[in-house]
């Protein structure tokens, strides 16, 4: 399944590159491909640390189950601990950037480049969109832990399924929003093959989990 997922990701990258080429969206001069690949590799490795953190929270799961928590919700207390690290890091980094850029006034609708205050309905809309984005991001892990709790001996593969699903659904949203409009047939074929491999990889795990 891991091999199929990797092949799907590679084909997705090729499909995107082919789409950009066919639409004339070439990278700007000065793009450092090696640095970009290193950053992508580093981000991927650090992303998997989230899964390691959830796995390391097994003692918390056992305690919450012993306290009477339903099996379906056993992973939620672990999220509180795992997300606390990311929350702390992001808060400190954001506070530093706000101080460095002197952008605290933007919370009330002002900016350095525009002294005119945004309309109140625009400010409310921005806050609502930010809240929606944050809530959507959190709920992916809310439902992730619910699903993982029912995977038994195959729970180790849950992160791979999660990552594959992110690529699948983000791509489908891209199609719905016409991001691939005008792309040539080669890029669309690669896209279809990529999604097919990613879906197949999740089906294999599902079948394997049901046979255990």
User: What pLDDT score was predicted for residue 111?
Assistant: 67
* Residue 139: inside a domain: yes
Kindly state the tokens that stand for 73: 């919700």
What is the C-alpha to C-alpha distance for residues 54 and 163, in angstroms, rounded to an integer?
A: 15
Indicate if the alpha-carbon torsion angle 147, 59, 156, 210 is positive or negative: negative
Confidence of residue 54 (pLDDT cuts 50, 70, 90): confident
Domain count, the chain: 1
Question: Which residue is associated with the tokens 């709790």?
Answer: 149
Q: Does residue 155 carry a pLDDT above 80?
A: no
What is the C-alpha to C-alpha distance for residues 149 and 59, in angstroms, rounded to an integer?
A: 14
Residue whose C-alpha is closest to residue 156's, from 5, 46, 54, 43? 54
* Residue 92: inside a domain: yes
User: What pLDDT score was predicted for residue 7?
Assistant: 86
Between 37 and 28, the more confident residue is 37
User: What pLDDT score was predicted for residue 133?
Assistant: 92
* Residue 45: inside a domain: no
Q: Does residue 94 carry a pLDDT above 70?
A: yes
* Residue 35: inside a domain: no
User: What pLDDT score was predicted for residue 150?
Assistant: 77
Between 122 and 33, the more confident residue is 122
pTM: 0.68
Range of the domain at 126: 2-24+51-207
User: What pLDDT score was predicted for residue 189?
Assistant: 92
Question: Which residue is associated with the tokens 């919370």?
Answer: 107
* Residue 132: inside a domain: yes
* Residue 30: inside a domain: no
Residue whose C-alpha is closest to residue 130's, from 122, 119, 120? 122
What is the C-alpha to C-alpha distance for residues 45 and 101, in angstroms, rounded to an integer?
A: 30
* Residue 38: inside a domain: no
Q: What is the pLDDT of residues 178-195, one digit of tens each?
A: 888 888 888 889 999 999
* Residue 40: inside a domain: no
Query: Which range has the worst mean pLDDT, 104-118, 138-152, 162-176?
Result: 104-118
């Amino acid at each position: 399944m891991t091999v199929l997922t990797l092949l799907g990701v590679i084909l997705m990258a090729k499909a995107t590159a082919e789409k950009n080429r066919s639409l004339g969206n070439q990278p700007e001069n000065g793009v450092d491909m090696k640095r970009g690949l290193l950053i992508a590799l580093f981000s991927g490795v650090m992303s998997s640390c989230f899964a390691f953190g959830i796995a390391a929270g097994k003692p918390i799961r056992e305690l919450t189950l012993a306290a009477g928590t339903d099996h379906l919700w056993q992973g939620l207390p672990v999220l509180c601990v795992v997300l606390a690290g990311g929350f702390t890091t992001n808060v400190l980094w954001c506070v530093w950037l706000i101080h460095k850029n002197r952008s605290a006034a933007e919370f009330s609708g002002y900016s350095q480049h525009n002294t005119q205050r945004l309309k109140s309905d625009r400010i409310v809309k921005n806050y609502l969109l930010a809240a929606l984005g944050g809530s959507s991001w959190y709920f992916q892990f809310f439902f992730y832990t619910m699903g993982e709790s029912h995977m038994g001996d195959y729970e180790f593969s849950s992160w791979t399924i999660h990552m594959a699903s992110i690529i699948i659904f983000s791509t489908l949203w891209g199609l719905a929003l016409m991001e691939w409009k005008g792309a040539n047939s080669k890029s669309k074929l690669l896209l279809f093959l990529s999604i097919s491999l990613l879906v197949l990889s999740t089906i294999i795990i599902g079948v394997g989990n049901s046979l255990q």
